[in-house]
Copies of this chain bind each other. A is one copy, B any other.
Amino acid sequence: MSNDNKKISLAVVRRLPRYYRYLYDLLQSGVTRISSRELSEKMGVTASQIRQDLNCFGGFGQQGYGYNVQNLFNEISKILGTDHRFNVIIIGLGNMGHALANYENFKKRGFDIIGIFDIKPELIGTTVNNIKVMHMDELDEFVKNNRVDIGILSVPYGQTPAIADRLGRLGVKGLWNFSPMDLKLPYDIEIENVHLSDSLMVLGYKIDSKMKK
């Protein structure tokens, strides 16, 4: 069933990678079908939430049969775009840039890192995980000569807005920002801000609130 004409809410989209992971694991274990109740127990979500989410893009379960795991996985993969590849560059080869350059999971999910950029002379010309490290001076030329879908920003806080702006002007389609700020740009560009500390603070809250009980 095609989802091309449907608008899926971002709240549902944000839950899709989780379905993707669980369905992938089920396929690996040889499970071919699953009921919303079984999936709900595995994922710790209500069965009605699951039915509601999956109905959004035509993943209808059959009464007494449940969902076909492969079909559902294919459909979610298609929506998430893992049926094609995204070209990604990393800006900033500090510790986080290094970690991201070596993160094998991205390739599995459809993201190919095709270049890394930094300014430190000792890094330029080296490779990390077989990816060439280039100088920031080469960035504009590189983006003009290659299809760059996504720029990963793992640069110091203060430099983030200017580099984000430069990538926006160069026509990169999306930014994945690791600086603890909500980037906004006056370009037609999609942005996901990763706020690691936020997640750690939520963990701190959960620990505290349990101890108060």
**A150→B194 CA distance, assembly (Å):** 21
Query: If A18-B198, A96-B99 touch, does A203 touch B180 (CB 8 Å cutoff)?
Result: no
Do B194 and A199 touch across chains, with their CB atoms under 8 A apart?
Answer: yes
Residue of B with least CB distance to A172:
B207
Do B207 and A150 touch across chains, with their CB atoms under 8 A apart?
Answer: yes
Interface residues on A, range: 35 or more
Q: Name the prevailing secondary structure of the A interface residues.
A: helix
Do A199 and B206 touch across chains, with their CB atoms under 8 A apart?
Answer: no
Point out the residue from B44, B94, B197, B208 that lies within 8 Å of A105, measured CB to CB.
B197
Instruction: Give every chain B residue within 8 A of A190 (Cβ-Cβ).
Output: 203, 206-207, 210
**A152→B37 CA distance, assembly (Å):** 32
Do A82 and B201 touch across chains, with their CB atoms under 8 A apart?
Answer: yes
Interface centre among A190, A204, A210 (most CB of B within 10 A): A204
A192 within 8 A of B: yes
Instruction: Give every chain B residue within 8 A of A10 (Cβ-Cβ).
Output: 202, 206
Instruction: Give every chain B residue within 8 A of A100 (Cβ-Cβ).
Output: 196
Instruction: Give every chain B residue within 8 A of A195 (Cβ-Cβ).
Output: 17-18, 21
Chain B: minimal CB distance from A194 (Å): 6
**A194→B201 CA distance, assembly (Å):** 13
A165 within 8 A of B: no
A114 within 8 A of B: no
Query: If A4-B212, A99-B98, A210-B190 touch, does A14 touch B176 (CB 8 Å cutoff)?
Result: no
Which residues of A approach B to under 8 Å, CB–CB? 4, 10, 13-14, 16-18, 20-21, 43-44, 79-82, 86, 94-96, 98-103, 105-106, 109-111, 149-150, 173-176, 180-182, 184, 188, 190-192, 194-208, 210-212
Task: Supply 14 A–B pairs (Cβ within 8 Å), ascending by A.
Answer: A10-B206, A17-B195, A18-B198, A44-B182, A109-B200, A109-B201, A111-B204, A149-B204, A173-B210, A173-B211, A174-B204, A174-B207, A176-B200, A188-B210
